[in-house]
Structure 1
């Protein structure tokens, strides 16, 4: 297989991230979409009022949620019937359903909404779906895939391979892998810096994260965060090797917020200073985190208490805790559409 140089790949990713980020920062109002993993719906939180304003029915066992960049379409994976649902966010109605090849996990969409990547957990594969055609156009092999991630590129999407201890990069033009990036452990959620050079990865059995040099394809640091509690309490909706799950960079890239399932909190890592500079308590079982594009709020799903912590990112204080559906996990946020 002929592959592009890593610098050309990540240069293209950087251009896309910068352009997408500039567009998103001008959006005044946002909606937060909360996948309720033991329910059949997605809770919709209006980020102006910080209240639930809608519930979108999708199907039992919602797993993944993602959005195209303009927020007009929401994509949801449903485990029980092995489908990807395409939802119009203005009407909150399903406008398309695509049958996938197995049990789907966390999806990712290109900013233009042309493609959605769906990891198939029980199929050791990832389905690439053409949204306009509403059909699978490629299925690629990947060992125990879990989370897909788009960082603002219409050409590239990341997918984690828990079985191979790596994050794989899909080139959507070639419909093949462009890179296989080792993570030094079984990867859980991960995020990528805006320059496309650094990846932060939660891995199994680590209360913290690893730092990966993407162009160099190597782990450069492993940071274990000291915890208040020595052991992990028994969790109903997460495996016992998961000490850290959700993590995300602030929109300005200066801070990495990292969940602690030991302490029911978010720890804040200063990227430049390379140290933990703060902690904010959450509900029980903090699972996923997203920031509003303007950087005002951090939103954390609490799987054990069926709610979402809304935190003022500047003051590092919880503003409110919003009750949602059963066992909330994946989150997505974008511009509100009427």
Structure 2
């Protein structure tokens, strides 16, 4: 049996004997061959607060280590800091040999060799880039510069900027049609998705978004549809991938709708949507748009990507510091892997570590997960794996309604301080609130505001703060301990709390 497995690996990613083949997974075309899950594959997650990229072997769902692109706070506050900041977006080259990692705080795209986990090049672009993806022919890398009004087009070999495509302010993400003809660019600040001709970089179509904030977009392998999410209103929309780019469907998916990706398997073609405010992944057919499954996962699911054969999808849990593996035939969680802090984008790269040139013994070592080169260039998780997690519930509630906490809170360790991130839901839409510390568990007594925020139309928000907060909310001395609450109002004028830290 082992020899059969090795033989399959030496064929360069061919399907294992007896393994099902569905043909073509996003972002490739339906005509592309599937690549069975093996020790040559890698799952990468971009981790925003530890400034790392975690590297997981999906064959045994084991974290191999992290690529450290930067340091935690407060080191990265220094004017002499040279590392990357807020590691966030991710794409990979058509030959599966390079990942492109966007850091929104340092305005950079870092190109990493998948075989060695080493940085090949770093390109600096405009303000707050969000995503970088290679065109299907690998000749260009398009980077959405969300803090400005253009897509930066880099040369696919030199990684230097060659031109810019002007679009409405705040381009959120781009994806390409599998045939490489079109690039679809959704917006985070304007209710408009633009369709761009890859050949000449001209806008050839527009699609009206139901609301401005689109963080993610995906194209179906069969070239028929484009799906995009709307984080502000909790919707997912679908339009025809071909002219005249007609809107086909608008789905209500829930607060903090994050990412979407497409999967082909023995049952058909499906869209998987991560919904952060509900801590679930929703699954829809692409023919009649019927919801066929709701998969409960951990706190604040964000990025999602299918395996090379469509048998699994991997989901980054932003407020749980984990990578979740889901079997797409049963739609059940099959593994949870600890990774770095606040994973954002996730990519699954089949055959990322090639078998070409390996001897039979070397291939066997890779299959058994013992080859030392698997961890070349990687570091242990260390501080990047340290965080504390809380939930918040409405005042007067005995516990989360239906077992589902409306608000999750993570405190990501940065040494003596922590980055706090709350995924606030269950609040009034478009209303001002403060996240604060209370002196009593029920929220009564004096309040010390930490951060102010305004909810989106879905009554949700992502809230951040920085400081020694864990020491306050986990303090052993009763007279010094504080409790997290959410109250309506502003930093200077607020009312009684409406949500409190759960016991």
TM over 0.5: yes
Matched length: 309
1:67-146 equivalent positions in 2, closer than 5 A:
67-142=92-167, 143-146=169-172
- Rounded to whole Å, the distance in 1 between the matches of 2:328 and 2:121 is 36
Give the CA deviation at 1:27: 5.0
Runs of 4+ displaced beyond 6 Å: 15-19
Residue 298 of structure 1 and its aligned partner are, at CA, apart by 1.1
Please report the RMSD computed on the Cα atoms of aligned residues, expressed in angstroms.
2.4
Residue 281 of structure 2 corresponds to 266
Counterparts in 2 of 1:153-164, with a 5 A limit? 153-164=179-190
| SS of the residue 1:254 aligns to | strand
Are 2:229 and 1:220 equivalent residues in the alignment?
no
Which of 29, 33, 47 is residue 44 of structure 2 equivalent to? 33
Could you tell me how far apart the structure 2 residues matched to 1:165 and 1:197 are? 22
Q: Distance in 1 between matches of 2:85 and 2:216?
A: 23
Moved more, 325-334 or 215-224: 215-224
For the residue of structure 2 that corresponds to 1:106, the secondary structure is strand
Does residue 281 of the first structure (1) align with residue 296 of the second (2)? yes
Q: C-alpha distance in 2, partners of 1:149/1:223?
A: 20
Residue 101 of structure 1: how far off its partner (Å): 2.3
8 Å CA contact 1:32, 1:332 repeated in 2: yes
- What CA distance in whole angstroms lies between the structure 1 residues aligned with 2:263 and 2:25? 17
Q: Given that residues 255 and 268 in structure 1 are in contact (C-alpha distance below 8 angstroms), is that contact kept between their aligned partners in structure 2?
A: yes
Q: What is the distance in 1 between the residues matched to 2:62 and 2:320?
A: 17
Structure 2: gaps spanning 5 or more residues: 1-23, 70-83, 355-503
Deviation per CA, 1:226-259: give whole Å up to 9, x if none.
x6xxxxxxxxxxxxxx531112221345222222
1:307 corresponds to 2:319: no
Q: Residue 246 of structure 1 aligns to a residue in which SS?
A: strand
CA distance in 1: counterparts of 2:108 and 2:53, whole angstroms: 15
Structure 2 CA distance, aligned partners of 1:208 and 1:103? 24
Task: Indicate conservation of the 8 Å contact 1:110/1:152, yes or no.
Answer: no
What SS does structure 2 have at the residue aligned with 1:251?
strand
1:94 is displaced (CA, Å) by 0.8
Query: Post-superposition shift, 1:155?
Result: 4.6
Contact 2:26–2:262 (8 Å) recurs in 1: no
Quickly say closer, same or farther: Cα 1:184–1:219, change in 2 above 3 A. farther
Change (3 A) 1:156 1:217: closer
Q: Alignment partner of 2:95: what SS? A: coil
Pairing of 1:148-227 with structure 2 (within 5 A): 148-186=174-212, 187-214=214-241, 215-225=243-253
Structure 2 distance, partners of 1:151, 1:37, is 28
Q: Go from structure 1 to structure 2 and tell me whether the alpha carbon gap of 1:150 and 1:27 turns closer, same or farther (over 3 Å shift).
A: farther
Q: For residues 249-306 of structure 1, give each alpha carbon's deviation from its aligned partner in whole angstroms, at most 9, with x where no partner exists.
A: 2134522222222320111212334321211111100112111020111111110111
Q: Which residue of 2 aligns with 1:8?
A: none
Gaps in structure 1 of 5+ consecutive residues: 1-14, 228-241
> Partners of 1:66 and 1:159 in 2: how far apart?
15
TM-score, normalised via structure 2 length: 0.57
Distance 1:271 1:123, change over 3 A: closer
Query: C-alpha offsets along residues 140-175 of structure 1, whole Å, 9 cap, x if unaligned?
Result: 222211112234344532221233312223323213
Task: Report the Cα offset of residue 138 of structure 1.
Answer: 0.9
Comparing 51-60 with 296-305, greater Cα deviation is found at 51-60
In 2, the alpha carbon distance for the partners of 1:198 and 1:155 equals 14
Whole-Å separation in 2 of the counterparts to 1:17 and 1:281: 23
Measure the CA separation in 2 of the matches of 1:60 and 1:260.
Answer: 25
Describe the superposition over 1:68-96 as per-residue Cα deviations: whole angstroms up to 9, x where unpaired.
Answer: 12210111112233221111110111111
CA shift, 1:191, in A, is 2.0
How many angstroms does 1:52 deviate by? 1.0
